[in-house]
Structure 1
Amino acid sequence: MRGRTLSISISNTHAAARKKRISVSQIILHVVLSLGAFLMVFPFLWTVSSSLKDISQIFLIPPQWIPDPMVWSNYPNSLSAMPFGHAYWNSLYISVTVIAAQLLTVSMAAYAFAKIRFPGAHFLFVLFLATMMVPKQVTMIPLYIIMQTIGWMDSHLAIIVPAALFNAFGVFLLRQFVKGIPNELEEAAVVDGANPFTIYWKVILPLIRPALAALAIFSFLGTWNNFLEPLIYLNTPEKFTVPLLLNTFKGLYAADWALLMAGTTISVVPVLIVYVIAQRQIIEGITLTGIKG
Structure 2
Amino acid sequence: MKEKKQFKIKNLPIILLSLMLALLYLSPFYIIILNAFKTKKELFQSTLALPLAWNFDNFVEAFDRLDYLKALRNSLFVVITSVIVIILFTSMAAWMLERTKSKASSFIFYLFISSMLIPFQAVMLPLVRVMGKLNLLNMGGIVFMYLGFGTSLSVFLYHGFLKGIPKELDEAAMIDGCNKFQTFWKIIFPLLKPISVTVAILNTVWIWNDFLLPSLVINKPDTQTIPLRTFFFFGEYTKQWHLALAGLILAIIPVIIFYAVAQKHIIKSITAGSIK
Number of the residue aligned with 2:43: 58
Number of the residue aligned with 1:187: 171
Deviation at 1:28, TM superposition (A): 1.7
Give the superposed CA RMSD: 2.4
* Cα-to-partner distance string for 1:206-237 (whole Å, 9 max, x where unaligned): 11111111111222111111111111112221
Identity rate, percent: 31
* Cα-to-partner distance string for 1:5-30 (whole Å, 9 max, x where unaligned): xxxxxxxxxxx67x666533422222
SS in 2 for 1:248: helix
* Cα-to-partner distance string for 1:130-151 (whole Å, 9 max, x where unaligned): 0101111111112111111101
Q: Which residues of structure 1 form unaligned runs of 5+?
A: 1-15, 289-293
Deviation at 1:286, TM superposition (A): 9.6
- From 51, 59, 70, the equivalent of 1:67 is 51
Moved over 4 A (4+): 19-22, 280-288
Number of the residue aligned with 2:256: 272
Q: Which residues of structure 2 form unaligned runs of 5+?
A: none
AA in 1 matched with 2:208: W
- From 12, 21, 25, the equivalent of 1:40 is 25
Number of the residue aligned with 2:202: 218
* Cα-to-partner distance string for 1:90-110 (whole Å, 9 max, x where unaligned): 001111101111110010011
- The answer to whether residue 12 in structure 2 is matched with residue 30 in structure 1 is no
Deviation at 1:157, TM superposition (A): 2.0
Number of the residue aligned with 2:61: 77
AA in 1 matched with 2:142: I
The alignment's TM-score, normalised by the length of structure 1, stands at: 0.86
Please tell me whether the aligned partners of residues 217 and 278 of structure 1 are also in contact (alpha carbons under 8 angstroms): yes
Structure 2 Cα separation of the partners of residues 128 and 179 of structure 1: 17
Number of the residue aligned with 1:5: none
Q: CA separation of 1:263/1:124 partners in 2, compared to 1, >3 Å: closer, same or farther?
A: same
Deviation at 1:87, TM superposition (A): 0.7
Number of the residue aligned with 2:221: 237
Structure 2 Cα separation of the partners of residues 157 and 278 of structure 1: 26
Q: Give the number of the structure whose alpha-carbon radius of gyration is greater.
A: 1
Please tell me whether the aligned partners of residues 31 and 47 of structure 2 are also in contact (alpha carbons under 8 angstroms): no
Q: CA separation of 1:179/1:261 partners in 2, compared to 1, >3 Å: closer, same or farther?
A: same
Q: CA separation of 1:199/1:270 partners in 2, compared to 1, >3 Å: closer, same or farther?
A: same
Deviation at 1:117, TM superposition (A): 3.1
In the TM superposition, what are the counterparts of 1:114-263 in structure 2 within 5 Å?
114-153=98-137, 155-165=138-148, 166-263=150-247
